[in-house]
Structures are given as C-alpha cells and as structure tokens.
Homo-oligomer: A and B are copies of this chain.
Amino acid sequence: MFLKNQWYAAALMSELETGRPVGRVICGEPVVMFRTESGTLAALEDRCPHRYAPLSKGECIGESIACPYHGIRFGPSGECTLIPQQSTIPSLMRVKSYPLVEKWGWAWIWLGDPKAADPASIPNYWWFDAPGWKSFRRLFHLNANYELCADNLLDLSHTPFLHKTSVGVPEMVTIPFETRVEGNTVYQYRVMENVRPSPFVAEWGQFKGNINRRATVTWVPAANISAELIYEDADTSITIMLTNPLTPETEKSTHVWFAWSRNFGSDDPNDPMSKRFEAQSLQILEEDLSLMEDQQRIMDQAGEFRPAIISSDATLVQARRVLDRLRKQELSA
C-alpha cells in the first residue's frame, strides 16, 4: 500500500521545460506531466478515456495535451478541451488530474486528497536555491521496493562491506550515532572529532591535518532522504548535501533521484574534482542498486520479509514505524 497523501518528486523541471510531455508511473498510477504554453504545470492520468492510448506519447499544444491516437485534447485540470471529430464533449471524456508543484528543481506530485495538498510540506531542500551552491542530479531506476532503498541510506554501516573498494571505511561500523524522531521526520546524527580526512575531503577543503566531521541524515515520508556532511578544522568548513527523494513506481520498483550539492570549489560542472566525484557516486550507486534488486528477488522467493534487527538498524526502524503509522491513518481516513 502506497501513501497517497504525500508529495513525491515526479520529474525534474528541466525535463518539463522541453515542451514535451513526461510519462511516468508513480505509486502504481500512470501519470503524464507537462507545462503548458502559458507556464501552468499539469499532471494527468496517462490514459485517454477514448481508447486508452497514452497521452504521454502525444503533444503539448497551447494549454492542452493532445492524445497521439485521435488528437483529443485535455487541459491541466483534466477537462477535455477538444474532440477533433465532433463539437460536443461527452461528460465521460475527462481524465483525473493531480496537484503538481515546482520546488527545488523538481515537480512534486500529490496523488491523494487534493484538499490536503499543502506545498509547505514538501521537504526543505534550500541548498538548491541558495547562492554559492553547486549541484548535479540524476534519475536511476531500481527494480526493488522503495523501502529497501531507504533502509540502505539510513544504515551506513553497510559501506565498509558493499563499497569496500570505494568509500567504505571500517570505522563506519562502530561510530556511534543518535536517532531522533520529530513528528514524522526522522534524524540520524554522527559526530567524529579529530579524525583524518579522506584524500578527497582533504583536497576539497585544503585541510592540512585532522578535522571534525558531522553528518545529519534526514528522512521525511514517504521516502525523501537527505544527508548534510560537514567537514571542518579551525580555518575552514565545507559542506556536502546528498539529496535522495525516492519515488515508488510500483510495489517492486522505484524512481531513485540522486543529487549532490556542495558549497565550495569550482562552478564548472566539468572540472576534474566534480567529474571524479560523479564517477565515484555512480559506481557506489550501482553497487547499492544491484544489492537491493537481489534483496527484492529473495523477498519474492521467500514470500515474506521478517528481518532480524541489529543495532545499526535503529534509524530505519523509526522510519518504518512512521510509515506504518501513516498507512494506518490513510486506511482509517
């Protein structure tokens, strides 16, 4: 069961600026998203009621999207605006529409009760709008449930094992962390003082000796995860933000958004430091995605998922509890 009364990162705004519609299945629902000529953002059911053709294979024309099959057009609220073959519009000729809101470079969709759709509850990813910050973003497709992906990001004690050839450092297993729940948000804090920076970090911050590190991972339901990584010594403080909104496609597949932002270094997306980081990120992500698809396959074989809990699961257990509570709320609503 998907949570419908939540905002999901559904498309990059750059995808919607092309003038072409974007079709994507979100929480099991086929959706077409587009921006009209006048700039309105629209998300509609991706199924023409006439003969079930996908509107996302059609064209944006003025304030409407036209079906690729017979040219029937629909406006941003799902109303039919033109049937080329006739002048009257039957009442059945309309599609569902969904709130779609631009924020932090993404278009966020709300699949539940439109009256409850408050854009203020979109996660606060201020760094995408702040001066001095540089970001890149990617979309990955994962053949596994989104909760498996959230688990991965909320328990970094896996890094020395799964990513041992790249970012894994043995200490990640034993560094103590704190979990805090505030309302529906779950935080994980880690502090390391007077530690040696990795070669990458030393180069980024021009650190000569040991540094202090602080990491805060934030989980906002349904599955929006961000991590603030601060590296500092007496002279310098640099910050990296990782942003991972996870958007369920089906019960067994996920749109994994990945963004990396920094408040230091070159503005040039092609400078060697950026390129190197990007290449490394992609390797790490592939290791994660491949393992999660194995998990999904094994869960499917087993027909159930009853994990044995260990101490490093403390944060993800809290996140899964919030989800359970929210699911019960939606079911009883």
Contact = CB atoms under 8 A, between A and B. Distances in A.
Interface of A: 30, 46-47, 49-54, 57, 66-72, 83-86, 90, 92-93, 148, 151, 155, 157-158, 160-162, 173-174, 291, 294-295, 298-299, 301-302, 305, 307-312
A20 to B, nearest CB: 15
Contacts of A307: 49-52
Contacts of A70: 155, 157-158, 161, 310, 312
Nearest to A294: B54
7 contacts: A49-B307, A50-B310, A52-B298, A57-B294, A68-B162, A71-B173, A86-B312
B52 A85 contact: no
A49 B301 CA distance: 14
Task: Give the number of copies in the complex.
Answer: 3
A47 B302 contact: yes
B311 A85 contact: yes
A53 B295 contact: yes
Contacts of A295: 51-53
B49 A311 contact: no
Contact of A299 (B46, B52, B83, B298): B52
Taking chain A's interface residues, is the majority helix, strand, or loop, or is none over half, making it mixed?
loop
Contacts of A86: 310-312
A128 B59 CA distance: 40
A81 to B, nearest CB: 14
A308 B173 CA distance: 59
A61 B291 CA distance: 20
Contacts of A158: 69-70
A161 B51 contact: no
Contact of A93 (B69, B298, B308): B308
A177 to B, nearest CB: 11
B67 A161 contact: yes
A216 B288 CA distance: 52
A132 to B, nearest CB: 37
A162 B69 contact: yes
Contacts of A46: 298
Contact of A92 (B47, B298, B308): B308
A308 B47 CA distance: 12
A47 B69 CA distance: 40
Greatest chain B CB density within 10 A among A50, A151, A301, A310 is at A310
Contacts of A157: 70, 84-85
